[in-house]
Amino acid sequence: VKISELGEFGLIDLLASMINAATDKDTQAGRQLILGIGDDAAAWQAGDSVQLATVDALVENVHFTLETTHSTGSGQATWQELGWKALAVNLSDIAAMGGIPSYALVSLALPGQTEMEQVRALYRGIIELAQQFGVAIIGGNMSSAPLVVINITVLGSAKADKKILTRSAARSGDKVAVTGYLGASAAGLEMLSKHLPFKPEAADALKQAFLKPHPRVAEGQLLVKHGVRAAIDISDGLLSDLGHICRMSKVSARIEIERVPVHPAVKANFGDRALGLALSGGEDYELLFTASAGVIDKAKAAVKCPITVIGEVRAENAGEITLVDGKGQAVNLAESGWEHFISS
Amino acid sequence: VKISELGEFGLIDLLASMINAATDKDTQAGRQLILGIGDDAAAWQAGDSVQLATVDALVENVHFTLETTHSTGSGQATWQELGWKALAVNLSDIAAMGGIPSYALVSLALPGQTEMEQVRALYRGIIELAQQFGVAIIGGNMSSAPLVVINITVLGSAKADKKILTRSAARSGDKVAVTGYLGASAAGLEMLSKHLPFKPEAADALKQAFLKPHPRVAEGQLLVKHGVRAAIDISDGLLSDLGHICRMSKVSARIEIERVPVHPAVKANFGDRALGLALSGGEDYELLFTASAGVIDKAKAAVKCPITVIGEVRAENAGEITLVDGKGQAVNLAESGWEHFISS
């Protein structure tokens, strides 16, 4: 069986069972482990705090193409944007645990003909975002390679006396909610790669959403502070990521599609494809979470960004997601989320 | 300036100054940081222990080529050997800090046509070594890519009341010592890639040294326990790695080449090239350290592997390494260590 037939999630499932079976609970590392493979970040007890760790990779021509001229707006990322995004996707994983990011390790594989100034620009992007969140870059690795691969590991922590946000804590009766607006990142990629001629303001919003996502770090910490326990960040797409929560929590979800907060610039420019981009586009790096209506109200009052309730968690048919319209009628949408190895 | 002109170490130096200048000492992460970029692993204070983190990458056709048939002995690694080695190089970095490895995150970039069984074999290799050292695999990432890139991050710890091993702690008057025997890994690579017809026992030892290095984890902990403070693991090559210690510690070193413990299988099969392989071959993953003669005697008595004193640390001409023969006469050797981007 080739991994392209199995798909990213099938592969991860198989490897996770192999790895979990091999993890020795009698070692100190095994005893202190709180969460291994399967959540946004791993978590373990270290003294009186919980430590968090996550890793993400950006691969040239898979996750991005590089700008080779000074012209912009071509779907290509500058080196600085690339650095920002490579760190942002990891900070978003720590945010989805309700954690505080602290340290980053940057492992670069680069062609020998890369210009020093390009590598410096990459680091300017990483450093710009790192400084916003008080993250120190403490190590890394440098290899030659025929194409650019950026691997960033981010370490963080959570206070032991508070809980962390996990994918497995959704409970029947919870509301499903999401921060910010959805669909703008996928719309931005499409706009850039197809050279779609949008008005400057919309074009800028979509481009920023795709190239410079803002991880919801402060929001994640406020969610956990106000009693939220279940969350994931939207990287694969709302439906795909909600599916992860449903499977891990052994619950189902019912989403009212008219409540989904489609980004205004997506609504204005993508017509009847806007909802599909919001549901399945991915890379929004917003937080998708579940909690009681009361907890969500408290969270809403505490965070600065919009929080929208889009549905609810149910017990029956665990793992399933039902989409309904304003009248409660089930609707079908073909697209789901982004998955590696399987070409869509 | 292209990075191939600057070289790996020049690039790392420039990035390290850029990153260190950007690190905010007033953040919690900045305050707790003990060691950032420049040592075998990063170190920071977390509660009453010291946490360690390191990352290393293996890139296809740069660090390894893959076995595509069932024939062995061609310089190609099996997937299982590859998994072992990808973890081993990281455990060796934790060993070089005198730390205890605890957790690993595995980020894989793989072509879609990779067979599931190959990925399982890779993980069997990782798990086999992880279990030997009580390391739990707690997370990772999976991307598609046109070639195989394996990034492993290893986290570990050291007791706060004991010291860690650093590259900057060598002091004038220290002896320079090394664990085990040197040169076997580079000799193994050459034997495999040139199909050199050695006797089975030697061939097996050299092949194992290259494909399945054994990180000196227990030895690193014993060194620090018995008072050693300065160490590095030999990945680039003895001279190159000793150069890192000398520059970071602002000292020089004098090495008696006749004392260098060349691996017996290298001595027996590589004639007058044996010493060069031991000095510059790299990837031996032995520990190179400095300490007083008395501390080294205590360490010798405590560890099971051979420890050989090969020279001494001096104050004058900081950064320089002098090689001398049995009569104390300076000798010159052209080769130095392995460096990325610059082809030798």
Q: Please, what's the b/e burial string for A45-75 (b: 16 or more CB within 10 A of its CB; e: otherwise)? A: ebeeebbbbbbbbbbbebbbeebeeeeeeeb
Decide if A123 and B340 are in contact by the 8 Å CB cutoff.
no
What confidence tens digit (pLDDT) does each residue in B56-87 have?
A: 999 998 888 886 544 444 557 899 999 999 99
Alpha-carbon dihedral of residues A240, A244, A245, A246, nearest 10 degrees? Answer: 90
Decide if A51 and B46 are in contact by the 8 Å CB cutoff.
yes
Identify the burial level of B325 via C-beta atoms within 10 angstroms of its C-beta, where 0-12 means exposed, 13-18 middle and 19 or more buried.
exposed
Q: Which residues of A touch B155 (CB under 8 A)?
A: 51, 53, 155
What confidence tens digit (pLDDT) does each residue in B273-286 have?
A: 999 999 999 999 99
Decide if B141 and A55 are in contact by the 8 Å CB cutoff.
yes
Q: Which of A138, A153, A340 is the closest to B143 by Cβ?
A: A340
pLDDT at A337: 56
Look at the block and give the residue holding tokens 């054994």. Answer: B214
CA distance B142 to B156: 23
Q: Is B134 on the interface with A (CB under 8 A)?
A: yes
Q: Which residues of B touch A36 (CB under 8 A)?
A: 136-139
Decide if A6 and B340 are in contact by the 8 Å CB cutoff.
no
Assign 3-class secondary structure to chain A: CEHHHHHHHHHHHHHHHHHHHHCCCCCHHHHHEEECECECCEEEEECCEEEEEEEEEEEECCCECECCCCCCCCCCECHHHHHHHHHHHHHHHHHCCCCEEEEEEEEEEECCCCEHHHHHHHHHHHHHHHHHCCCEEEEEEEEECCCCEEEEEEEEEEECCCCCCECCCCCCCCEEEEECCECHHHHHHHHHHHCCCCCHHHHHHHHHHHHCCCCCHHHHHHHHHCCCCEEEECCCCHHHHHHHHHHHHCCEEEEEHHHCCECHHHHHHHHHHHHHHHHHCCCCCCEEEEECHHHHHHHHHHCCCCEEEEEEEECCCCCCEEEECCCCCEECCCCCCCCCCCCC
* Helix or strand run (H / E) with residue B322: strand B321-324
- Tell me the nearest-neighbour CA distance from A224 into chain B, angstroms: 20
Instruction: Please give the radius of gyration of chain A, using alpha carbons only, rounded to the nearest integer.
Output: 20
pLDDT band of residue A159 (cuts 50, 70, 90) is confident
When pLDDT is averaged across residues A208-229 and rounded to a whole number, the result is 96
Q: Which residues of B touch A83 (CB under 8 A)?
A: none
pLDDT at A70: 42
Strand B149-159 and strand B100-110: pairing?
A: antiparallel
Residue of chain B whose alpha carbon sits nearest to that of A12: B142
A210 and A235 in contact (C-beta within 8 Å)?
no
Q: What is the ipTM of this complex?
A: 0.93
pLDDT at B69: 42
Look at the block and give the residue holding tokens 């691997």. Answer: A151
Residue of chain B whose alpha carbon sits nearest to that of A36: B138
Which residue, A162, A181, A146, A198, is CA-closest to A279? A181
- Tell me the nearest-neighbour CA distance from A328 into chain B, angstroms: 38
Look at the block and give the residue holding tokens 């707690």. Answer: B138
pLDDT at B287: 98
Q: Is A147 on the interface with B (CB under 8 A)?
A: yes
Alpha-carbon dihedral of residues A38, A39, A41, A42, nearest 10 degrees? Answer: -60
Decide if A138 and B33 are in contact by the 8 Å CB cutoff.
yes
pLDDT band of residue B148 (cuts 50, 70, 90) is very high
pLDDT at A132: 97
Find all residues with CB under 8 Å of B194, minimum gap 6, and list them.
Answer: B75
CA distance B322 to A102: 41
Decide if A29 and B139 are in contact by the 8 Å CB cutoff.
no
CA distance B218 to A4: 40
Q: Which residues of A touch B146 (CB under 8 A)?
A: 61, 147
Task: State what percent of residues in chain B have pLDDT above 90.
Answer: 82
Strand A252-256 and strand A321-324: pairing?
A: parallel
Q: Show which of residues 196-225 on chain B sit within 8 Å of chain A, judged by CB atoms.
A: none
When pLDDT is averaged across residues A262-273 and rounded to a whole number, the result is 96
pLDDT at A158: 93
Q: Which two tokens stand for residue A108?
A: 């670069």
Least confident piece of the model among A86-95, B55-64, B84-93: B55-64
Query: Is the C-alpha dihedral spanning A176, A182, A185, A186 positive or negative?
Result: positive
A220 forms beta bridges with none
The amino acid that residue B230 corresponds to is A
Rounded alpha-carbon distances, angstroms, from residue B28 to A103, A130, A257: 10, 13, 42
When pLDDT is averaged across residues A287-297 and rounded to a whole number, the result is 98
Q: Show which of residues 159-198 on chain B sit within 8 Å of chain A, judged by CB atoms.
A: none
For residue A184, pLDDT over 90 is answered with: yes
Phi-psi region of B73 (alpha: psi -120 to 50; beta: other; left: phi over 0): left
pLDDT at B66: 80
Q: Show which of residues 84-113 on chain B sit within 8 Å of chain A, judged by CB atoms.
A: 100, 102-103, 105, 107, 109-110, 112-113
When pLDDT is averaged across residues B218-244 and rounded to a whole number, the result is 96
Q: Determine which of B138, B157, B166, B344 to mutate to test the interface with A (most A C-beta atoms within 10 Å).
A: B138
A64 and A58 in contact (C-beta within 8 Å)?
yes
B192 and B210 in contact (C-beta within 8 Å)?
yes
Query: Distance between alpha carbon A65 and the CA centroid of its chain, in Å?
Result: 20
CA distance A145 to A141: 13
B265 and B184 in contact (C-beta within 8 Å)?
yes
When pLDDT is averaged across residues A242-268 and rounded to a whole number, the result is 97
Q: Which residues of A touch B30 (CB under 8 A)?
A: 134, 136
pLDDT at A73: 46
For residue A322, pLDDT over 60 is answered with: yes
For residue B160, pLDDT over 70 is answered with: no
Which residue, A281, A261, A266, A279, is CA-closest to A202? A266
Decide if B145 and A141 are in contact by the 8 Å CB cutoff.
no
* Helix or strand run (H / E) with residue B4: helix B3-22
What confidence tens digit (pLDDT) does each residue in A65-80 have?
A: 886 544 444 557 899 9
Report the predicted TM-score, pTM, of the whole model to 2 decimal places. Answer: 0.93
Decide if B53 and A103 are in contact by the 8 Å CB cutoff.
yes
Decide if B4 and A116 are in contact by the 8 Å CB cutoff.
no
What confidence tens digit (pLDDT) does each residue in A24-45 have?
A: 888 999 999 999 999 999 999 9
What confidence tens digit (pLDDT) does each residue in B15-49 have?
A: 999 998 998 888 999 999 999 999 999 999 988 88
Task: Tally A–B CB contacts below 8 A.
Answer: 274
Q: Is B140 on the interface with A (CB under 8 A)?
A: yes
Q: Which two tokens stand for residue A244?
A: 């992860």
pLDDT at A317: 94
pLDDT band of residue B343 (cuts 50, 70, 90) is very low
When pLDDT is averaged across residues A289-310 and rounded to a whole number, the result is 98
pLDDT band of residue A340 (cuts 50, 70, 90) is low
Decide if B105 and A55 are in contact by the 8 Å CB cutoff.
yes
Q: Determine which of A14, A120, A142, A283 to mutate to test the interface with B (most B C-beta atoms within 10 Å).
A: A142
Look at the block and give the residue holding tokens 């304003």. Answer: A326
Q: Show which of residues 226-265 on chain A sit within 8 Å of chain B, judged by CB atoms.
A: none
Least confident piece of the model among A335-344, B54-63, B151-160: A335-344
For residue A161, pLDDT over 90 is answered with: no
Span between the terminal Cα atoms of chain A, in Å: 19
Q: Show which of residues 269-308 on chain A sit within 8 Å of chain B, judged by CB atoms.
A: none
**What's the DSSP call for residue B273?**
G
Find all residues with CB under 8 Å of B71, minimum gap 6, and list them.
Answer: none
CA distance B235 to B287: 9
Range among A42-56, A76-90, A286-300 rated most confident: A286-300
The helix-helix angle for A200-211 and A79-95 (nearest 10°) equals 70
Q: Coil, strand, or helix at residue B53?
A: strand
pLDDT at A341: 59
**What's the DSSP call for residue B168?**
T
Q: Show which of residues 10-29 on chain A sit within 8 Å of chain B, judged by CB atoms.
A: 11-12, 14-15, 18-19, 22-24, 27-29
Decide if A15 and B123 are in contact by the 8 Å CB cutoff.
yes
Q: Is B77 on the interface with A (CB under 8 A)?
A: no
Decide if B136 and A41 are in contact by the 8 Å CB cutoff.
no
Assign 3-class secondary structure to B258-271: HHCCECHHHHHHHH
- Tell me the nearest-neighbour CA distance from B85 into chain A, angstroms: 16
pLDDT band of residue B8 (cuts 50, 70, 90) is confident
Assign 3-class secondary structure to B58-107: EEECCCECECCCCCCCCCCECHHHHHHHHHHHHHHHHHCCCCEEEEEEEE
Q: Is B37 on the interface with A (CB under 8 A)?
A: yes
pLDDT at B24: 86
Q: Determine which of A6, A14, A19 to mutate to test the interface with B (most B C-beta atoms within 10 Å).
A: A19
The amino acid that residue B273 corresponds to is R
Phi, psi of A336 (to 5 degrees): -125, -140
